[in-house]
Amino acid sequence: MKQILLFFSIALLTFFTATWFLGSNKVYDRIELEINRFEEELFSITEENVQNKMLYWEADYGTFPAIFASQIMRSGEVKNKQYEDELLAFTHQEDMREAYDSTVLLYKDFSSLQYDLELAFGQFSANFPSFPIPEITTFFGGFNYGVVTYDNNIAIGLENFLGRNSKFYKYLSDPEYIRFQKQKKFIISNVMEVWFNEHFQKFLGGRDLLSQIIYKGKVMYFIDKMLRDIPIEDKFRFTKSQMDWVIDNEASIWQYLVYEDLLFSKKEDEFRTFVNYAPFAKGMPNEAPARVAYYTGYQMVCEYMKNNKINIEELMYLTDSRQFLQQSKYKPTK
């Protein structure tokens, strides 16, 4: 009898230990997303069906056709003959048709990206339950936009993610650091950053660099929590060597910002390359990638979350950058 009780006790202990461990590392279920493939509809138009197609889009694609017309195609009223002619010319132009065919080859099967997006928005729904969950629309827009938000939905311009070696980006004279960003593996990180900006950019604390660092840190903390199974360098959209450099030089980056008296600067030309895409971070070694502030901010936010008892949604509403820095106790020494 004692042996049976002992076995039962061990089994219970094992069960509760496993339950606690799994609970402390909980990964939320993915949620089903509606994916609309607008580019397939667009490139199926002919002179004979274009009017009927446009009526169908109005009924089935919500407000996206109007957004596509006004903001992506930069045209006028959707319901007129001139716009029909513009769409026909666009979809039958030889270079655009070739680029669309390349897009089809790469994205005919969207299932793996859909799965990753559904995992990410499962995390988002669990952490931000009062926020909307978007529909996702893919489109081909002539290389005008990568990822855009509209009416609490998201649209992805797939032709902007054909790979760094795509000949179309060379035709467009995109520099190497821009071509690097146009990889399929970066779509999901782009989507989550754009979605973050849609809802939380209004909580950017100020125009100074420290406020920008903290905001970019929130972006990356958010992306890191939403995208569980993606390599850290892909979340930051760095190369592996760039990621290694910012990790190894975290303290030096911080010392540079402090010693150069940049933290409270509001002169964007002094720190633009620390927060935006560029060939490198101006004033730092050539190995330093642009957007180093994303990593500095991320580490600062991680320290803040470790030292303060708040959840991820509460984090988003903090706007006092000086108080944030103090309460984060951020002092990299590596």
pLDDT digits (tens, 9 = 90+) for 289-302: 999 999 999 999 99
Final residue of a domain: which of 198, 226, 247?
A: 198
Whether residue 260 sits in one domain with residue 161: no
The average confidence (pLDDT) of the chain is: 91
Whether residue 308 sits in one domain with residue 214: yes
User: Worst-scoring range by mean pLDDT, 17-21, 70-74, 166-170, 310-314?
Assistant: 17-21
The domain of 229 spans 204-328
Q: H helices of 128-239, where?
A: 167-171, 176-180, 187-200, 209-226, 232-236
308 falls within a domain: yes
14 falls within a domain: no
Q: How many domains does the chain have?
A: 2
Radius of gyration of the chain (CA): 24
Whether residue 231 sits in one domain with residue 268: yes
Whether residue 116 sits in one domain with residue 193: yes
Q: Report residue 24 as tokens.
A: 């402390």
6 falls within a domain: no
Among the listed residues 302, 309, 311, 310, the one whose alpha carbon sits nearest the alpha carbon of residue 329: 302
Whether residue 240 sits in one domain with residue 149: no
307 falls within a domain: yes
Whether residue 217 sits in one domain with residue 192: no
CA dist., res. 254 & res. 237, Å (int):
21
Final residue of a domain: which of 198, 221, 251?
A: 198
What is the tens place of the pLDDT at every residue in 194-204?
A: 999 999 999 99
Given this model, what pLDDT does residue 29 score? Answer: 83
Whether residue 269 sits in one domain with residue 170: no
Whether residue 162 sits in one domain with residue 287: no
Final residue of a domain: which of 182, 198, 214?
A: 198
| Length of the chain measured in residues | 334
With b for 16 or more beta-carbon neighbours within 10 A and e for fewer, the 119-134 pattern comes to: bbbbbbbeebeeeebb
Whether residue 148 sits in one domain with residue 42: yes
* Bridge partner list, 157: 139
pLDDT band at 75 (very low <50, low <70, confident <90, very high): confident
Given this model, what pLDDT does residue 154 score? Answer: 98
pLDDT band at 57 (very low <50, low <70, confident <90, very high): very high
246 falls within a domain: yes
Q: Is the pLDDT of residue 7 over 60?
A: no
Percent of the chain with pLDDT over 70: 90
CA dist., res. 198 & res. 201, Å (int):
6
CB 271 within 8 A of CB 296: no
CB 219 within 8 A of CB 196: yes
Place of tokens 């006092």: 320
Whether residue 49 sits in one domain with residue 160: yes
CB 161 within 8 A of CB 187: yes
27 falls within a domain: no
Measured N-to-C along each axis, helices 240-248 and 250-259 cross at an angle, to the nearest 10 degrees, of: 60
* Bridge partner list, 153: 150
Whether residue 248 sits in one domain with residue 168: no
Whether residue 131 sits in one domain with residue 213: no
